[in-house]
Each structure stands twice: as C-alpha cells, then as structure tokens.
Amino acid sequence: MDGNDSSELQNLALLAWTCHCRATRGEFLHAQQCLESAVDVLLRLLQRFAGDGPLRRIRARNPRRGLEAMAPALAHDLLAIVLGTVDMPEARLLELAERELKPRAITLDWDEVANIRQRIRAG
C-alpha cells in the first residue's frame, strides 16, 4: 500500500458523496460528472491491484476502453451505474468497489468508504 492508493480510495469515496449531494440538490450534470470521475478512479485502483488478472491491462489514460472484453460482468455493472439504471448509483459504485477491489486491496482503509456508503443509503 502506498499513500497514493489510500488517497485515490478516499477520492473515490468523496466523489461518490459529492455526486449524492449534488443530485439531491438537483445539480444532475455535476453529479454525473462526479460519478463518471469516480468510475475512472475505481478502474485505476483495480488496475493497480489486479495482480496477474485481466484487469492489469486496464489503460491508464482511458480505463474504460476494452473493459467489456477484459471483465464483462464488471463492465455491465459499471454501465448500469453510469447510465443510472440502478437505484442510488453512487452507493452502488461504492458497493462495487467493496466487492471487487477490497479483497485485492485489504490494506487500504475501507472504513470511510463504508461510512459514506451508509450515509448515502440513509438518505
């Protein structure tokens, strides 16, 4: 674990929280921008912690490119989040991070992610 990875995880959580706050205020364009940025942060972290798995091929400059071929289920989940076809996409993104990234990056501080996810779910 390095400080950059911890900062990136914190950034992911804060982007999801900002998305939630903006959406509740009716600032949907800014909320969407925050959500899209959070998706890219998650993909960068998944690439860093991929080990020998297919996600190691995620491109730093364009992390979504080719994701459907590398990890179809992950790509499907992220598309639903980005398109907003799931309830509370910002919370779902944090849940996805906990499901996909946490087992690979257990040394990162996940308490803030869980706290923000719970606050979003509580409304």
Kindly state the average pLDDT of the residues 94-120.
Answer: 96
Which pLDDT band holds residue 17 (cuts at 50, 70, 90)? Answer: very high
Is pLDDT of 22 > 80? yes
Which pLDDT band holds residue 29 (cuts at 50, 70, 90)? Answer: very high
Whole-prediction pTM:
0.93
Is pLDDT of 101 > 70? yes
Total count of domains within the chain: 1
For 103, phi then psi, to 5°, come to -60, -25
In a 10 Å sphere around its CB, with 0-12 CB exposed, 13-18 middle and 19+ buried, how is residue 68 labelled? middle
In a 10 Å sphere around its CB, with 0-12 CB exposed, 13-18 middle and 19+ buried, how is residue 78 labelled? buried
- Domain membership of residue 18 as a residue range: 3-122
Q: For 84-120, b where at least 16 C-beta lie within 10 A, e where not — what string? A: bebebbbbbbbbbbeebbeebbeebebebbeebbeeb
Q: 32-41, 59-68, 92-101 — which is least confidently predicted? A: 59-68
**Residues with Cβ < 8 Å from 52, sequence gap 6 or more?**
none
> What pLDDT is recorded for position 2?
60
